[in-house]
A and B are shown apart, each in its own frame.
Chain A
Amino acid sequence: MKLLIKNGRVIDPANNLDDVRDILIENSRISRVAKTINNGADKTIDAVGKIVMPGLVDMHVHLRQPGREDKETIASGTRAALKGGVTTLLAMPNTNPAIDSVENIRLLQDIVGKTAVANVVICAAITEGRLGKVLALIAKFRKESVAAISDDGSSVDSSAVFYKALRKARENKILVICHCEDKALSAAGVMNLGPVSTRLGLKGISSESEYKRVQRDIQLAEKAKASVHICHVSTAESVEIIAKAKKKGIKVTCETAPHYFSLTEEALLDYDTNKKINPPLRSRADMEAVKEGLARGIIDAIASDHAPHTISDKDIEFDRAEFGVTGLETELAAAITYLVLPGVLNWVELIKKLSWNPAKILGIDKGTLTPGRDADLIIVDPEKSWLVRKEDFISRSKNSAFIGANLKGVVEATILSGKIVYKQEIKG
């Protein structure tokens, strides 16, 4: 089976490419990328005026299975991913049971093998039950093709346990992903601490609760000579701490999520629980610092932190509602709308942060259109605007922070291993 994509604007940061090219896909792999290919393909797609880019590698996704299949399943989550242009995702381990043992990794792999429609890479837990007390058997994880470990949702509070985890991770060449939150400082807070929390009478989560833990995790990683990745960076101070660490040569990477560069705490003025997130939407200054961190290359990756929740977990009093927003189906358009259009990033930089960098951070052969690699790519209409509507989501959950927003950029087709697995429905 040969598939030819003609005349698209092909952007492939790994190869410094941003030009009109034809792409030939053969036997599930990228075969050739050239100015003109006139090969007898079985199928040809005309992509004139469209952007052709590697599929997104979203390194922060909660698929909720096993345990909360009412919120999302591997099947529904990966279908949502394809609609959003995500061809590979990292599944976080805070499921029930947590992915903290070889047995549970295999349980998850089994479900993935049977039901996933996109590539699912596994992130296992650092500690048993993600309780921060007893290290999981990290040494055995590498063989199970686990790409990273994280207690995401929680930080490992004990520095001693975390340091041991870093040493183990280094020995076994596994990346440690850090959810940086000192719960003693953020305790019971539900939104960013500041003038808006004061106005709303809601308990605040201080910036310190994040950046002090970023500082600690980086210091311990330096000492252990381990690689760490800081997830969902939301404060100005965190960006600065990471910038300094990078300058010093410490092996640290980081990500942010679309809501941190597009929304601020003021989005909560009507107590919209769909914008209740942890870490919380921060101040305008923090949002600007995150954008600047992206532009300066301090922030390496953009990930959705897709966190689906049912209506009954969200449509309740603000204090009682769950933290989290969905993001797989909006992240590309949000990134185009809030980063490319205002000139924070150009297209090449954007795609680098959505595809190539996360693939490199995870050490997987994805995120590029280099011949020989898996043909995971998407065709995007960069000019088309759309209104985000609750009823259009494929995810089982509808708790998006962008409902009602007009976003620019539509995924027209998603190609996974050379097969067209998603095509945008043309609405009459």
Chain B
Amino acid sequence: MAEFAWNKKDLLGLEYLTKEEIELILNTADSFKEVTTREIKKVPALRGKTVVNLFYEPSTRTRVSFELAAKRLSADVINIAAETSSVKKGETLIDTGKNIEALKADIIVMRHNYSGAAMMLARHLNISVVNAGDGWHEHPTQALLDMFTLKEKLGKLEGIKVSIVGDIAHSRVARSNIWGLTKLGAKVTVCAPKMLIPPGIEEMGASVTCDIEDALRDADAVNVLRMQFERDQNSAFPQQMEYFMKYGITEERLAKAKKNLIVMHPGPINRGIEMSSEVADCPQSVILEQVTNGIAVRMAVLFLVSQAREGKDEAAN
């Protein structure tokens, strides 16, 4: 098979990638995963490059994962934790980005609380922008690591059935998973109380159900989202216990599903709210493998976007 070339300087979302591009990331991640099992977990692929983690929202897991991924590629890494409030005080996002570009960084990995922030930044910069989550919009590397893990477990993505359960309306993880999985031929069902299903989600390619038993029945995998009860103080929002009773993933519910149903969670888990502690730790749970795979997937993304830029710089010379 002829190697398919990557030519995008940014990774903004899975909506904007083709099936072939997603496959290329997953295949590249495959070879990087091998690196992470070596005694010396480092390759020189990004030696001399600088990766800036620009985080406008608190995040431990994603930031550490990107930092490790960059370091294992031998890049220099700078972490900037920008308080959302400081944006209001002064510097605009574009100015911040241009300053980082002027410091000759090569890649900005950005987490931002507003949807579309990564796309806006990418439009204004020549250096690469990798979206590490923007508002409710997309979290492409999370979906890629979910898909990578599923492929590892099931051998394929084509034709598999994945249910995503939780606050779909406010979930960038759900959106990226829907785009990515459906592009690779998987069937996606989203499941949540009606008020947490955003209008027209079907047009993105997902089926919708409000019944958890329905969602679990034929599924090969269930991806359980974190319920952010702290986000919405609205009284109409379901109470935590009510949610757990209706939608929580429990051993009883797993017993009625496919025997080898894979249980996933992007973390951090609210034990006893979206899934019971027993389920989180059960043999079908791949939650910690997702975390491990995240590094390989992010190595692949950083490597590919930096290559695209090199190609462009050469073409310009």
Give the interface of A toward B (CB within 8 A): 193-202, 204, 270-271, 312, 315-320
Contacts and interface: CB of A to CB of B under 8 A. Distances in A.
B115 A201 contact: yes
21 contacts: A195-B200, A195-B201, A195-B203, A198-B203, A199-B175, A199-B200, A199-B203, A200-B115, A200-B116, A201-B136, A202-B136, A204-B199, A270-B119, A271-B115, A271-B119, A271-B120, A312-B92, A317-B93, A317-B114, A318-B116, A319-B114
A320 B94 CA distance: 13
A196 B204 CA distance: 10
B289 to A, nearest CB: 27
A323 B200 CA distance: 24
A340 B117 CA distance: 38
Interface of B: 15, 92-94, 112, 114-117, 119-120, 134-138, 169, 172, 175, 198-201, 203-204
Given A315-B94, A317-B116, A200 B137 contact: yes
Contacts of B92: 312, 315-316
A156 B274 CA distance: 43
Contacts of B138: 201
A422 to B, nearest CB: 35
Contact of B15 (A195, A199, A204): A199
Contact of B117 (A199, A315, A317): A317
| Secondary structure call for the A interface | loop
Given A199-B200, A200-B115, 12 more contacts: A195-B199, A195-B204, A199-B203, A271-B116, A271-B119, A271-B120, A316-B92, A316-B120, A317-B112, A318-B116, A319-B115, A320-B114
Nearest to A196: B200
B214 to A, nearest CB: 21
Contacts of B134: 201
Given A312-B92, A316-B92, A317-B114, A198 B120 contact: no
A198 B199 contact: yes
Nearest to B112: A317
Contacts, number: 68
A318 B115 contact: yes
Nearest to A268: B116
Is chain B's interface secondary structure helix, strand, loop, or mixed overall?
mixed
Contacts of B201: 195, 198
Nearest to A203: B136
Contacts of B198: 197-198
Contacts of B203: 195, 198-199
Contact of A201 (B93, B120, B135, B199): B135
Contacts of A196: 200
Contacts of A318: 114-117, 120
A270 B115 CA distance: 11
Contacts of B175: 199, 201
Nearest to B115: A201
Contacts of A204: 199
B126 to A, nearest CB: 17
Contact of B199 (A193, A202, A270, A320): A193
Contact of B116 (A202, A312, A315): A202
A201 B172 contact: yes
Nearest to A270: B119
B172 A194 contact: no
A193 B116 CA distance: 16
A318 to B, nearest CB: 5
Contacts of A202: 115-116, 135-137
Most central of A196, A197, A201, A315 by chain B CB within 10 Å: A201
A198 B15 CA distance: 13
B204 A199 contact: yes
Nearest to B119: A271
A184 to B, nearest CB: 13
Nearest to A316: B92
Contacts of B120: 271, 316-318
A319 B137 CA distance: 12
A195 B115 CA distance: 15
B92 to A, nearest CB: 6
Contacts of B199: 193-195, 197-198, 204
B120 to A, nearest CB: 6
A311 B112 CA distance: 21
A23 B314 CA distance: 64
Contacts of B116: 200-202, 271, 317-318
B115 A316 contact: no
Contacts of B114: 317-320
A213 B126 CA distance: 46
A317 to B, nearest CB: 4
B115 A198 contact: no
A317 B119 CA distance: 10
B137 A201 contact: yes
B178 to A, nearest CB: 10
Nearest to B136: A201
Contacts of A199: 15, 175, 200, 203-204
B225 to A, nearest CB: 14
A106 to B, nearest CB: 36
Contacts of A198: 169, 198-201, 203-204
A315 B198 CA distance: 27
Contacts of B136: 201-202
A280 to B, nearest CB: 14
B67 to A, nearest CB: 24
A293 B169 CA distance: 33
Contacts of A271: 115-116, 119-120
Contacts of A195: 199-201, 203-204
Contacts of B117: 317-318
Contacts of B119: 270-271
A422 B159 CA distance: 65
Nearest to B124: A315
Nearest to A283: B200
Which 9 pairs from chain A and chain B are nearest by CB?
A195-B200, A201-B136, A201-B137, A271-B116, A201-B115, A198-B198, A317-B114, A195-B203, A318-B116
